[in-house]
Structures are given as structure tokens and as C-alpha cells.
Structure 1
Amino acid sequence: MRPVVDGLTQPLLVTGAGDGSGRLFVVEQGGNIRVFAGGRLAPEPFLDISDLTEPGGEQGLLGLAFHPRFDANGRFFVNYTDTAGDTVVAEYRADPGAGVADPGSATTLLQIDQPFPNHNGGHLAFGPDGYLYVATGDGGSGGDPFNNGQSLDTLLGKLLRIDVDAAGGGLAYGIPPDNPFIDRDGARPEIWASGLRNPWRFSFDREAGDLWIGDVGQEELEEVNRVPAAKAGLDFGWDDLEGSDCYEPASGCDRNGVVLPVAQYTHDEGCSVTGGFVYRGSQYPELGGGYFFADYCSGSVYGIVAGSAGLTDPAPLLQSESSVSSWGEDDEGELYLVDIAGGRVLQLTAET
């Protein structure tokens, strides 16, 4: 790992904007988005919404995604918990190339009531199809007391897919016509996949188009799920299963129709998976095609072959001293690790 940025306050995410500028944008849990460019951290935040959120625990400013045409339209999207603890997905705008966004440009797309302060999910990203994907947790507490993961009438415990370029039907966004539950009575049409507990970071493989999700476990298992490109309507099993094991009941659960993890590890090794990326950069070709992820509690960094079949019991590649809150990808496909406790961002290298 090579240190790149330090001096941050509770960083949770790093990403490029896809605008060719080479800038890295870092999300701080307290409500700031910071810009790193030209070897320095800009003193003024790109966006400050600290008055809209009360950070702490699993709450705060949690996610950031730039529109695929950000270089032309200046649109970007954030996911945060508001002062009442509920999830908000909002759009903001910035002049192309500007160092500071317009805080008065906010448009709220989604507001989701959260029954408990934990399991907010919070990640969002644009897919290869141009739609915005939003990860939500199961609503929190423990054990999914309201069975949200398996209930299609709620947005909790899901991966959502919306069209931010075609608002309609009284909504600030559109529903893609091929969303899997768009015509099912009682189901929320925004849902793309279900059965998630607390998806903490997901990413798209920029070469294969597959979607990778790190889903935090309850008592025993941390899991990584893979969604083949454009595969809709998958159920990842929570709260019937934790990883590949039955959860409640502890045996005899029905695995029919459930997509099992491609990788999992026990709480003897860690306690909270942080989903990562498939490496498609050019600086370290020997890392190509590897999916890299980590555990927040142990600092272990894992890597598996993206095309491997079946369930993998991953072995740590290294033991870092970081509290890994996120992975990120720049415009060139190079990968970064975010250390929330150390207030820094590090680049993944072959010498790691």
C-alpha cells in the first residue's frame, strides 16, 4: 500500500469523477466531500452538507456517485442520513471542472424511513447501463426483525435501480422498463435485487460488467456476492440465510432460488466485510482480474480471481493496520483503500 492522501476526518469513500481530470473525491462522514488533485488536498470542500446530517456510528454522509456525463452536465449524487436518521439520496450540481459544487442545487430523489440507526447501506454507483444503483440495509437492529430483506414491498434490504435522466409518474426519477418487479403487485418497482443485510460497498467490473457486493453478516459469516452483468431479480438470501448457512431456522432453510456467495469468511477472521473492486488498471498488470476486498475490524485484505467458480474461502493477502471503510477506483482503474481511523487514503500496489 502506498499512502496518497492524509489529513482527512473520518473518510468513508474515495472515487474519481470520470471527467478525465484525475481528481480524487473523498467523502468524510461528517458531511464534507474533499478534493485531492495535483498532489494536494484542497482546503475548501467540494460540498459541505454537515448541517443536514448528524454523523456517528453508521450514520452520516455515506455515498457519492458522479453522473456518467459529469464532465458536461456537472451532476452528482449523494447518499446520507438526515438529522432524523432517515436515508436521503439527493442530486447536486457543479459547473464542469469547478472545485466547489453549488450547495443550493439539491434535489431529493429518495427518502427512506429507517427504523433503527444501523444498517443504512449508503453506497450508490452508476452501472454500465447508465442507471443509478442504490444499496440499502435491512433497517437495522439485529436479525432483520421486520423481515425487510425478503419483503418486496419495502426498499430496505435491497439493491435499487433508478433512472435519474427520466423523471416521471410523480417521482424525481424514472423506473427502468426492465426492472424485474415493475409489474408485480405490491412490489416496489425500484428493486433490482433483494435479500441483503447491510451491503457495505458494491462495484461494477469495468471490463466484464459484473456487479460485486460486500454484505455484512450477523453472527457468523461475512460474504461477497457477484451479479453477472445485467442479471436482474436475484435474491441473496438474507434473512433466511447468512452467507451460505441457514440463519433462521438454523437448519432446513430453503435455498431454492437463492444466489449463494462467491466468497465468505467467518467471524474468527473478522467481523465486517468492506466490498471492493476488480482491478482493471494498467500500473500493476499482475493484479489484473483480481477482486480485492477487506475486513473493517481485522484490517485483512483479501483477493480472489474474479472469474473463479463456486464458493471461495479466501485467505488474507496481507494484514494491514487500517480500519478499511471503503475501496475506491480512479478514472484509470487504479484502486485505493480508505482508512477511516488513520484519516488517509492508500493506493493498492503489487508490492502490497
Structure 2
Amino acid sequence: FAQPVYVAGPPGDVTRIFVAEQGGRVYAIVDGTRREDPFLDLSPRVTRSEGAGLLSLAFHPAFRTNGRLFVHYVTLDGRTRVSEFRADASGDRAELSSERVVLDVAQEETGHAGGQLAFGPEGYLYISIGDGGPRRDPHHKAQDLSLLDGSILRLDVDRAEPYEVPASNPFVNVTGARPEIWADGLRNPWRFSFDGGTGDLYVADVGEDEREEVTFLPTGNSGGANLGWNRLEGSECFDPSDGCDPAGTTLPALEYETTGFGGDCAIVGGFVYRGCATPGHRGRYFYGDFCSAFIRSFRLRDAAVVQERDWTEAFREANLESVVSFGQDARGELYVVDYRAGRLYRIEPRADSAS
């Protein structure tokens, strides 16, 4: 693959997964073999700067019957866009002409676009939008509820076009706030995911200079969480001159130090494993880092991190260069996407039980 950034499997389809390339092409892998022609080719419409391009995709829960999928990308003029496409009758291709723009967000820069899409357990589409830059979020956009920047959004894409705001969203009746917002205070939430077993939400936010973090939002919460940026970076004060009162913020469940390029520099959120190939890992949340290419996992017990484990050595033979995403197929099995190497790996058990 040419700079792959994401992999996903349609709900209920155990024969196919789809790999998205940063340049705009999406390829189907059917029973382990990549199709020659792209399923979707967005390359005429995406920009190719750092942190931009095609970022992720999500299949509608009823994709097998309605053919609807959603794509998160950065346009040629630098806008962060979410669009719906429809597969043709064969299910083997989605045409550019089927695009329906759901959301457009103008941002100052393209490097902090966010990039994740996922359907929640209630069937609503969740979208991560970064603070849009520049560095340090000097305009405090991630703390401004009148802007979509630095937020996770929650939309109903089934009842109206381009979307309807669920009445249960936390800021629907807050004067001056964008009702689409589900959670705010995020810098660059490159990846988040729902636990397929519990519905819990795990949000990984890429830090500025000091901290990388994962925040846990339990199923059934009413939304409105403020994850702290740019008052805080992780659980630490970001800029003492601005005040760093953590009151009203949701602190991360896990964080680690940013050590810069060549070390740990950008967290990549993954998934809670719910597959069958390695049953001993069910309930473990897997995550990585783009620069150091480590792979680690943990469990949560009463919202506290337990049983942390580093799997980097187990992946040594794969010679991972840059972990950019994890993915999940319809069976709940997990995949690792290597951006620089252009490879996709499936996490499987080894004979020595290290997987």
C-alpha cells in the first residue's frame, strides 16, 4: 500500500476489510487478497500535506443493505470534511458522484484535523475534529464551545440531511454552544474507538510537547466531558500563565511522556480486543505510537489502568516502522497499519503464546 492510514471491516461481513491510503484510495481485501482496482478513489479531492489527506472511514451499521459509508478527509482547499458515499449494486465500488457532504469545518492549518469516524452503540456517528492549529492553540479554540474545533461530535445521519443533532446531546440547550459537540478540550484526537463488548469510549489525544493520553468515557455517560486541552496537557498544567484549574475536566486514564521524534511522539489509539483468535486478550485495549512504533495494551478495572503490557518485542520480526492506526474486522480481530512500510498486519497468537 502507498501510505496506508486506516483499516476497517463492514459490520457483518467476515470476508472483507478495507484499507484507506492517505492519497485518497480505498482498497478492498477479500479473503486475504487485495482487489486490483480501488473500491473508492478520492485522490482528485484530497490534499496531501502532513496530517492531511484521507484520514479514516466508517461503515454504516446497515452497510450490507444500504451500502452507505462515511469518509473523513481534508479537501484541496484545506477544509476538514466528512462525506457519505454509497456502494454500487455489486457492492464492489463506490463512485465519486455518490458523495454527499455531511460536514465541512474550516481550520487554520491541516495538521490537527482529528480524523476518526465511528458509529456508537446507539447508531449515531461520532467524529473527531482537532484544534486546527497553530501550535499551542493560542486562540483557545478547543475550549470554545461556539466552535467545532478540538471536539468529538455526535450526529444522527439517518433522519435528515446533512444530519440531525440528537436531542440528548449535552449542549443542545446551551446558548452559544454548537449542539453537535459531545466532548471538547481535545488537541488532535487522531483515533478513538468504542468497546464492542461494553460500549465504552476510549479517546487517544496526540499531545503538544509533553504528554500523550488515553481518556476513558464509560457507556451511558451523558456527554459534555472536557478533556482539558489547552489548559492541561494530559493531567499536567500546560501554560501556568493561563491558569490550570483542572476543575470540570476529565483526566486521562493513561498518559506517557512525549520524548520527540525518534522516541515517543504521537499516540495512536486502538481498540479493545473482542475477537476469538486470542481469547486471553479479550478486554485488553491496544494502542501504539507513530514515531517509536511501540505496541502496548492495558485493562481497565473500576476506570483504573491495570495489567499494562508492552508487546513491542513480540512484533520485532515485523520490523514496524510507523504505527499509524489499528483496525478491527467484523469478527473483532485486530490489525496494525504501518504507514511508512505500507503494510498491514493482523494480530494473531504465536506458538509460544506471545501474540
Indicate the residue corresponding to 2:76 in structure 1.
83
Correspondent of 2:234 among 239, 243, 263: 243
The aligned residue for residue 281 of structure 2 is 287
Question: Partner residue of 1:271?
Answer: 265
- Which residue type is aligned with residue 220 of structure 1? E
1:207 alignment partner, SS class: coil
Q: 3-state DSSP class of the match of 1:188?
A: coil
Q: Which one is further off, 283-292 or 242-251?
A: 242-251
CA contact (8 A) 2:120 2:126 kept: yes
Amino acid of the structure 1 residue aligned with 2:18: F
Structure 1 position 96, deviation (Å): 5.6
Structure 2 CA distance, aligned partners of 1:10 and 1:209? 30
1:62 aligns with 55
Report deviation, 1:103.
1.9
Could you tell me which amino acid in structure 2 is paired with residue 125 of structure 1?
A
**Equivalents in 1 of 2:291, 2:232: separation in Å?**
22
1:91-139 deviation line (CA, Å, top 9, x unaligned):
0001365211122111101000011121011111100010000000001
TM-score under structure 2 normalisation?
Answer: 0.93
- The residue number in structure 1 matching 2:301 is 307
Partners in 2 of 1:225 and 1:146 — Cα distance? 24
How many angstroms apart in 2 are the aligned matches of 1:331 and 1:198?
A: 27
* 2:257 is equivalent to residue 258 of structure 1: no
The gaps in structure 1 that reach 5 residues or longer are 1-7
More relative contact order, 1 or 2 (CA 8 Å, 6+ apart): 1
Q: Which moved more, 1:39-48 or 1:17-26?
A: 17-26
Secondary structure of 2:304 counterpart: coil
- The separation in 2 between residues aligned to 1:327 and 1:299, in whole angstroms, is 12
Check the 8 A contact 1:278/1:306 in 2, yes or no.
no
- Contact 2:80–2:107 under 8 Å retained in 1: yes
Residue pair 2:14, 2:331 contacting (<8 A) in 1 also: no
Task: Describe the SS at the equivalent of 1:59.
Answer: coil
Counterpart of 2:345?
346
Aligned-pair Cα RMSD in Å = 1.7
2:188 equivalent in structure 1: 198
Q: Give me the whole-angstrom Cα distance separating, in 2, the residues matched to 1:304 and 1:90.
A: 34
Residue number in structure 1 paired with 2:179:
189
Deviates more, 1:313-322 or 1:34-43: 313-322
Could you tell me the percent identity over the aligned residues?
A: 44
Correspondences of 1:1-352 after superposition (within 5 Å): 8-95=1-88, 98-167=91-160, 172-231=162-221, 232-249=223-240, 253-268=244-259, 270-307=264-301, 309-310=303-304, 316-319=310-313, 320=315, 321-350=320-349, 351-352=354-355
**Which letter maps to 1:78?**
V
Local SS of the residue matching 2:98 = strand
Question: Aligned partners of 2:89, 2:155: CA distance in 1, in Å?
Answer: 24
Shift of the 317–342 alpha-carbon distance from structure 1 to 2, 3 Å rule, reads: same
Q: Conserved in 2, the CA contact under 8 Å of 1:264 and 1:314?
A: no
- d(CA) in 1 for partners of 2:301 and 2:6? 26
Q: 1:310–1:41: structure 2 CA closer, same or farther, 3 Å change rule?
A: same
Q: Secondary structure at the match of 1:306?
A: strand
Letter of the 2:252 counterpart? P
Change in CA separation of 1:21 and 1:311 when aligned onto 2, cut-off 3 Å? closer
* Structure 1 residue 315: Cα displacement: 5.6
Amino acid at match of 1:343: G
Where structure 2 has 5 or more consecutive residues not aligned to the other structure, the ranges are none
Deviations 1:216-247 (CA, angstroms, capped at 9, x unpaired): 00111100111111321101000000001010
After superposition, give the CA deviation of every residue in 1:21-65 in whole Å (9 maximum; x if it has no partner): 420100000000010012210010000010001213101010100
CA distance in structure 2 between the aligned counterparts of 1:214 and 1:284, rounded to whole angstroms: 24
Query: What is the alpha-carbon distance in structure 1 between the residues aligned to residue 299 and residue 187 of structure 2?
Result: 24
Cα distance, 1:127–1:155 mapped onto 2, change above 3 Å: same
TM-score normalised by structure 1 residue count: 0.93
